Amino acid sequence: MEPDFLTIIALIVSLLVIRVTYVLYWTGRPFKRAPTTSLRTMIVLGSGGHTAEMLSIVNVLQKDKYAPRSYVAALTDNMSLQKAQVYEESLQNHENNVDKKRGGAQFMQIYRSREVGQSYITSIGTTIVAIIHAMWIVLKLRPQVILCNGPGTCIPLCACAYLLKIIGWRWCTTIYIESIARVKKLSLSGFLLYKLPLADQFFVQWPLLQQKFPRSQYAGRVM
Amino acid sequence: MRERKGVFVTVGTTSFDKLVAAVDSEPVKAALFRRGFSHLQIQIGRGTYIPSKVSGEDGELEVDYFTFSPTIADHLTAASLVISHAGSGSIFETLRLGKPLVVVVNEDLMDNHQAELAEELADRKHLFFARGPHLLAQTIESMDLESLVPYTPGNPKNIADQIDAFFGFSSPGEGSDQKGGEGEGASVSKISKLFSFFFR
């Protein structure tokens, strides 16, 4: 007897539920065994203090373990990618860089879901464009780690990476560090990544936030 | 002849005309002069309000301004007092140099989360905090510079170590990376293979 349409739907839904449960279970669980190669890392940059904070974190990471690195910033953000390029170039002048073997750093721009002050109606269209663009970027860069600290550009990227995780295409670990400017409340991006949950590790820089959001980690401030 | 003590005002990359106008007003300039400052340098950023330059020859506060400079580090270092907008970059750059700082919040900004940071640092006595440019004069009159507590900069290494620990990477200087049982990475690829079989 051939399975009818409803049976097939039920089967797919069950598999999806099992898979989502599996992904949710493993989200946030530390790796049992360290990766044997370096991890492809995507670093999301944002205007204002975001890029400065993010680069101060990247600066103390073991560069040979988190490589090759790619940097993503919003299309309308001119300075962030420049700062990242200057930073990566300064690394080239150091001896211990593995990048020459694994491929150098990449820099990409992404459409914003919504500009400051944009009407909410047109935002629907631009958000859809941003999500499609984010998926394209994630498929192209194939990150194993995403580092972000709050700009709205990180939501479509993290959501697409998580979707790919669910369908089993690629496993990406998302690490979120809430900005130092967030003392008592999370940013919208932080709140979404914490609640859904999309992030594997969630850092806050002030103890009050850690108390309010117990699944977050407080490991001091970055500046 | 009074000692040369400079005040540096910065609005970062923003436009904060109300602050520049407040600093350029007589009450604030008089307050600064009374507190012993000799000159005032204002970085006006993208603002359109132009302050009046004052030579300071007539026994008053000298005033000068500019829009942008590649780095304000030199101006911060030379200053005896810094008045800044509430951007985290300006705040921490100033605190790292150990300079007395007055932070002024821009009330015209929507979603003013910047005020939270300035408030917290003011509570911890690392800086003085004015909720708006209209409160600047009284903040300057009443501030007790001796009461400031130096800010100890944070260290991003703590977070980096936690990230390393998540992946099982050892921190530099420690032994080799963790070895253990089969990681979820391996289980994932098995499920992935199963799935691509189903979804082919």
pLDDT bin (cut points 50, 70, 90) of residue A170 is: confident
Over residues B96-110, the mean pLDDT reads: 92
In terms of Cα–Cα distance, which of A30, A20, A180 is closest to B89? A180
pLDDT for B31-55, tens place per residue?
999 999 999 999 999 999 999 999 9
In terms of Cα–Cα distance, which of B102, B135, B143, B137 is closest to B30? B137
Q: Which residues in chain B are contacts of A220 at CB distance < 8 A?
A: 154-155, 158-159
Q: Is the dihedral of CA A209, A213, A218, A221 positive or negative?
A: negative
Both tokens of B157, joined, read 């290494």
pLDDT for A29-49, tens place per residue?
999 889 999 999 999 998 878
Of A33, A182, A200, the CB nearest to B178: A33
pLDDT bin (cut points 50, 70, 90) of residue A168 is: confident
- What is the per-residue pLDDT for B1? 64
Which class for A222: exposed (0-12), middle (13-18), buried (19 or more C-beta within 10 A)?
A: buried
- What is the per-residue pLDDT for B71? 81
Q: Please tell me the class of the B6-147 domain.
A: alpha beta
Q: Is the dihedral of CA B65, B69, B74, B79 positive or negative?
A: positive
pLDDT for B10-34, tens place per residue?
998 889 999 999 999 999 999 999 9
Both tokens of A116, joined, read 């400051």
Q: Which residues in chain B are contacts of A210 at CB distance < 8 A?
A: none
Q: Using the beta-carbon criterion (under 8 Å), do B157 and A60 form an inter-chain contact?
A: yes
Q: Using the beta-carbon criterion (under 8 Å), do B89 and A177 form an inter-chain contact?
A: no
Instruction: Determine which helix (DSSP H) or strand (DSSP E) holds A51, and give its type and residue range.
Output: helix A49-60
A199 near A192, Cβ under 8 Å?
Answer: no
Q: For residue A115, is it left (φ>0), alpha (ψ between -120 and 50) or beta?
A: beta
Over residues B75-93, the mean pLDDT reads: 94
CA distances, B104 to each of A144, A155, B147, B181 (Å) = 41, 31, 19, 55
- Provide the mean pLDDT of chain B: 87
Q: Using the beta-carbon criterion (under 8 Å), do A180 and B195 form an inter-chain contact?
A: no
Amino acid in position A165: K
Of B160, B166, B199, the CB nearest to A60: B160
Over residues A191-204, the mean pLDDT reads: 94
- What is the per-residue pLDDT for A127? 85
- For chain A, percent of residues with pLDDT exceeding 70: 93
CA–CA dist A175, B160 (Å, integer): 11
Of B132-141, B143-152, B157-166, B186-195, give the lowest mean pLDDT range: B186-195
Residue B147 has pLDDT above 80, yes or no: yes
pLDDT for A69-111, tens place per residue?
999 999 988 889 999 999 999 988 765 555 554 458 999 999 9
Chain B residue with minimal CA distance to A178? B159
Q: Which residues in chain B are contacts of A59 at CB distance < 8 A?
A: 156
Question: Which residues are A109's β-sheet partners?
Answer: A73
Report which listed range, A110-114, A142-146, B184-188, is most confident.
A142-146
- Provide the mean pLDDT of chain A: 89
Q: Using the beta-carbon criterion (under 8 Å), do B165 and A30 form an inter-chain contact?
A: yes
Closest CA of chain B from A48, distance in Å: 8
Residues 44 to 63 of B: which have CB under 8 A from any A CB?
A: none
Residues 145 to 204 of A: which have CB under 8 A from any B CB?
A: 167-169, 171, 173, 175, 177, 179-185, 187, 200-201, 203
CA–CA dist B121, B129 (Å, integer): 9
Selected residue with higher pLDDT from A101 and A52? A52
**Domain range summary for chain B, segments of one domain joined by +:** 6-147, 156-198
Q: What is the DSSP string of B24-55?
A: TSHHHHHHHHHTT--EEEEE-TT--PPPPPB-
Over residues B132-139, the mean pLDDT reads: 96
- What is the per-residue pLDDT for A38? 93
- What is the per-residue pLDDT for A96? 57
- What is the per-residue pLDDT for B109? 83
Domains in chain A (CATH in brackets) are 37-218 (3.40.50.2000)
Cβ-count burial A109-128 (b if 16+ within 10 Å, e if not): bbbbbeeeeeeeeeeeeebe
Strands A41-44 and A145-148, how do they pair? parallel
- What is the per-residue pLDDT for B44? 94
